Structure 1
Amino acid sequence: MKLRLLVGSMVAYLVYLLIGAAVFSAIERPMEVTKCGDTRSAIERFRTLLQDNAGNLTIANFTDIARVIQTAGNFGIRVDNNFNVVCSINWDFESAFFFSGTVVTTIGYGHISPNTDLGRSICIIYAIIGIPLFALMFTGMGESISKQIKRLHKRAQGKASEGWTYRDSIYYGFITLTTIGFGDFVAGTNADINYFPIYRIMVYFWILFGMAFMATLISLISDFFKKTGEKVRTKRKGYATEEDGAVMESGLAQENTQQPPPAEEIKPDNANRKPDSQTEGSSESLEKRPFRDNEDDRL
């Protein structure tokens, strides 16, 4: 891909992400704020009911509060053991930008998703347009990186900004860059950590360039196995040709060693036959033998 086309696709992709972030934040953020307020109100009512009528609570009361907590969890709202409501901010502009990137890259962590009907409908259209755009830019980046990158220097620290161990960070990096995306580790979603500004945006661009490098690495490995397979097939064909030649040579040698017998040794079938006179004489002698035997008996 030419440099102008690559830069143009990257700019278009960035603008597309900014548009998606603005749209999703505008649609989903009000619902998130409303849901957080409703959850706090429901928890406060249950807490008041628990303090005033602890002995008169019914199964229906516990069922209702359990349903509220479960529904709140779908919106990223957490209720601790003391019934304190912790509302995560999932649909501000920064988070929506990160979400837009996970949609078009097909990673799909699953930690947040649109909850409104309008947001879900727009998400479908957004993915249909954004995935081909990302594929175009991603292919161009992979080609450029495969031509220019010769060495990779990787620095590792004991723990990341997320508080993960080094093993967890390696696991997160591999699952993310291979687009598996289990969602058990997601950067920038810990409510107990105060992230610095544009942290999630930086993480997303790390994912973007990391995926380009991973695609290059996978392409190189695939080419290596293809070339190895071609060499093995070529060697097998060579061995088969040599074996066929050896078989043909041995067959010709056996044909040359088998010579027809000399003409002197070939005797006609009549040579083994006796003349008719000898045959008649022998038959007469056989006929006379019983007569002679009878004469001897008489004597």
Structure 2
Amino acid sequence: MTCGANEWCARFVERHRAALNFATLVLGYVLYLIVGPGFSPPSSCRTNVSCAELKDARRDFLNASPCVDEERLEKLLARVLEASNYGVTEHGKNDTDQNWDFVSSLFFTSTVLTTTGYGHTVPLSDEGKAFCIFYALFGIPATLLFLSAVVQRIMVLVTRQPIAYFHRRWAMSKSVLSVIHACCLAIILTLLFLIIPAWIFITMEKDWNFLESLYFCFISLTTIGLGDYVPGSTHTKEARPHPDLYRLGITVYLLVGLIFVLVMLETCCELPQMRRLRQRFYNENIHELDPETANIIDREQLNEPTLYTADPLPTIPTVSEQAASMRKDKVLGYTPANGVNGKLR
């Protein structure tokens, strides 16, 4: 009975291997989500300390200003907090005249269409909210189509052609070349779109340190967009005489950076190792095929030929094409080099 049960379990696992792997993946992801809130107690303690400090500051202010009405102060603070949530501030650091000019609107639409959504600037009127719904309803699919087309063209230049070139030049395995290329591309893109921009933001944003700048770049390029750090939101005109140009540059950086992040993700997805890993969670089980067919499919997936090779393989003409070519040679009076006439024997 024990041997039979073991054989039945082995057959069941082999037959439903993809489903069991998928269930394991779902369970692991759920556990990963549960681990995240485990880091909330330190954050909550820090928030409680901030709230206590804020209450102490409010009490000290009321004690130092006995003529201030507490109820009116609460209304003022609530109004200031509400305006701050909409990106409107009234203090010495921010004396911009417009909060919804063309460049700010362009920055807002780019964050909406790329689903970054910082949330520091939002439409207040009902008409603006309705327009935002329809604008994003058609704009997000169009943005995905645009990004997909751009990414595929860049993939040809920075991923597929280099791998095919070095594969022919060095006769190395495409699997090894793909891993080396992905690592080199990741290092280059990290320097160009994370490290270097973070150092630039340090010089432009006086209140940010390197970690905060790096945090902003990562949160933005991954379209998380928490909105706790927004460049150019707390600067005077004296500190930056061209705020529109600065924000326009940030918009271009976010769009270009998002494109190359997608290129990096697509490059990683095309790795043969990633393809084999994804196969573990598919419904189709390649091992159920005969060994010869499974081996052929596996080789095709690991060494997928690219459409952009410099030296394409010669095509073999069909029998009908050869016959048509010989009839054409006969009509033109072409004599083969071996002296045989054009007749078939």
TM-score, length of structure 2 as denominator length: 0.46
Residue 205 of structure 2 corresponds to residue 162 of structure 1: yes
Q: Which residue is equivalent to 2:215?
A: 171
Aligned 8 A contact 2:86 2:120 in 1: no
Report deviation, 1:139.
0.5
Aligned match for 1:98, one of 98, 104, 107? 107
Structure 1 residue runs without a partner (length 5+):
1-49, 242-299
| Residue identity in the other structure for 1:68 | R
Q: Which residue is equivalent to 2:317?
A: none
Aligned match for 1:194, one of 214, 222, 240? 240
**Higher RCO (CA-CA < 8 Å; seq separation 6+):** 2
Report deviation, 1:229.
3.0
Aligned 8 A contact 1:145 1:212 in 2: no
Superposed CA offset, 1:198-248 (max 9, x none): 222221122112111111111221222433438999xx96xxx8xxxxxxx
Residue 85 of structure 2 corresponds to residue 74 of structure 1: yes
Aligned 8 A contact 2:94 2:234 in 1: no
Report deviation, 1:111.
1.1
For 1:230 and 1:94, the matched residues in 2 are separated by 42
Query: Number of paired residues?
Result: 183
For 2:274 and 2:252, the matched residues in 1 are separated by 32
Superposed CA offset, 1:108-139 (max 9, x none): 01111111121111111111121111111110
SS in 2 for 1:78: coil
Aligned 8 A contact 2:116 2:220 in 1: yes
Q: Which residue is equivalent to 2:224?
A: 180
Aligned match for 2:258, one of 199, 206, 211? 211
| Residue identity in the other structure for 2:257 | G
TM-score, length of structure 1 as denominator length: 0.52
Aligned 8 A contact 2:94 2:233 in 1: no
Q: Which residue is equivalent to 2:71?
A: 60
Larger radius of gyration: 1
SS in 1 for 2:270: helix
Query: Structure 2 matches for 1:259-270, cutoff 5 A?
Result: none
Report deviation, 1:60.
2.7
Runs of 4+ in 1 over 6 A off after TM superposition: 230-233
Query: Structure 2 matches for 1:218-297, cutoff 5 A?
Result: 218-224=265-271, 225-229=273-277
Q: Which residue is equivalent to 2:145?
A: 136
Q: Which residue is equivalent to 2:167?
A: none
Aligned 8 A contact 2:117 2:225 in 1: yes
Residue 155 of structure 2 corresponds to residue 112 of structure 1: no
Aligned-residue sequence identity (percent) comes to 28
For 1:188 and 1:85, the matched residues in 2 are separated by 11
Query: Structure 2 matches for 1:139-150, cutoff 5 A?
Result: 139-149=148-158
